[in-house]
């Protein structure tokens, strides 16, 4: 089968999967005389969003696995709250001859899953074991601390981050305000070298959610421009 035909069929499979027509996507996949790993992963991605058990069985049929294959199944388990299966798969990866120590994306998936499930201690252990952190790793751990009210450790981590982005700042601002530390949020916001509408809206929404109407109104009035999020945050 010519490579361009494989690419074309794979694109059609992905398109049908996006609109929820999994039976049609599967039919096209089964009709392909030749399939590359991209085609297999496209079909796996479709099943992962529809049927956990079928996706697991399909995963075992793949002629080989790559980082995309592993991460699709790992993320599926994590998104469905099946941390036992996710951890079992994660720990089995070396047995599948995949050197996952270098694959930060997989570590980040597990870190985020543990944090979402409220397993803060386990998430911190996972973070400490990541052989090479990236900004997603730092932000996932930062958000976990902030969301669970551990702002002391969140601030310590924030200060140690080699780089920060709007996600990092928003996690801290939201953490401060949701835990009633409005002065800390205000102080941090004032020290930012520059702010954008996303950060302003984050602080505005946090003040509003915390019931600090006066602070929310002050931030709103000082916005150089306002969007629908700004208005909704104030009105809420």
pLDDT of residue 227: 62
pLDDT score of 231: 65
Query: Is residue 1 pLDDT above 60, yes or no?
Result: no
Going by pLDDT thresholds of 50, 70 and 90, the confidence category of residue 150 is very high
User: Contact 203/185 with Cβ under 8 angstroms?
Assistant: yes
Of the two residues 83 and 221, the one the predictor is more confident about is 83
The full set of domain ranges for the chain reads 1-52
Burial string for 53-70 (b: 16+ CB within 10 Å, else e) reads eebbebbeebeebeeebb
Give the pLDDT band (50/70/90) at residue 129.
confident
Asked if residue 69 has pLDDT above 70, the reply is yes
> With 50 as the cut, is the pLDDT of residue 97 above it?
no
Q: What is the pLDDT of residue 141?
A: 96
The answer, yes or no, to whether residue 135 has pLDDT greater than 90, is: yes
Tell me what the mean pLDDT of segment 15-36 comes to: 83
Percent share of the chain, pLDDT over 90: 21
Task: Tell me the percentage of the chain whose pLDDT exceeds 70.
Answer: 86
pLDDT over threshold 80, residue 102: no
What's residue 144's pLDDT? 94
The pLDDT confidence band at residue 149, using thresholds 50, 70 and 90, is: very high
Q: Look up tokens 């991605």; give the residue.
A: 45
Residues 25/26/30/32 CA torsion (nearest 10 deg)? 20
Both tokens of residue 189? 């916001």
Mean pLDDT for the stretch of residues 213-234:
66
CB of 184 within 8 A of CB of 176? yes
pTM of the shown model: 0.71
| 151 — pLDDT class (breaks 50, 70, 90) | very high
Residue 224, pLDDT score: 61
What's the pLDDT band for 100 if we cut at 50, 70, 90?
A: low
For residue 8, the model assigns a pLDDT of: 83
Q: With bands split at pLDDT 50, 70 and 90, how would you rate the model's confidence at 25?
A: confident
- Residue-averaged pLDDT of the chain: 82
């Amino acid at each position: 089968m010519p490579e361009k035909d494989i690419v074309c069929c794979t694109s059609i499979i992905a398109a049908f999967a996006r609109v929820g027509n999994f039976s049609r996507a599967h039919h096209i996949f089964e009709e392909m005389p030749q399939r590359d790993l991209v085609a297999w992963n496209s079909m796996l991605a479709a099943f992962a969003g529809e049927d956990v058990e079928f996706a697991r069985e399909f995963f075992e049929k793949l002629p080989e696995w790559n980082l995309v294959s592993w991460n699709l199944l790992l993320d599926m388990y994590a998104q469905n709250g099946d941390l036992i299966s996710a951890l079992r798969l994660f720990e089995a990866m070396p047995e599948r001859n995949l050197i996952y120590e270098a694959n930060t994306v997989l570590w980040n998936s597990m870190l985020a899953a543990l944090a979402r499930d409220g397993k803060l201690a386990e998430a911190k252990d996972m973070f400490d074991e990541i052989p090479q952190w990236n900004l997603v790793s730092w932000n996932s751990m930062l958000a976990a601390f902030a969301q669970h009210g551990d702002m002391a450790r969140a601030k310590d981590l924030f200060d140690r981050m080699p780089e920060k982005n709007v996600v990092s700042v928003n996690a801290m601002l939201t953490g401060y305000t949701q835990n009633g530390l409005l002065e800390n949020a205000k102080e941090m916001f004032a020290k930012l070298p520059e702010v954008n509408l996303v950060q302003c809206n984050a602080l505005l929404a946090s003040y509003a959610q915390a019931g600090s109407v006066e602070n929310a109104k002050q931030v709103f009035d000082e916005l150089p421009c306002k969007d629908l999020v700004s208005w909704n945050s104030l009105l809420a």
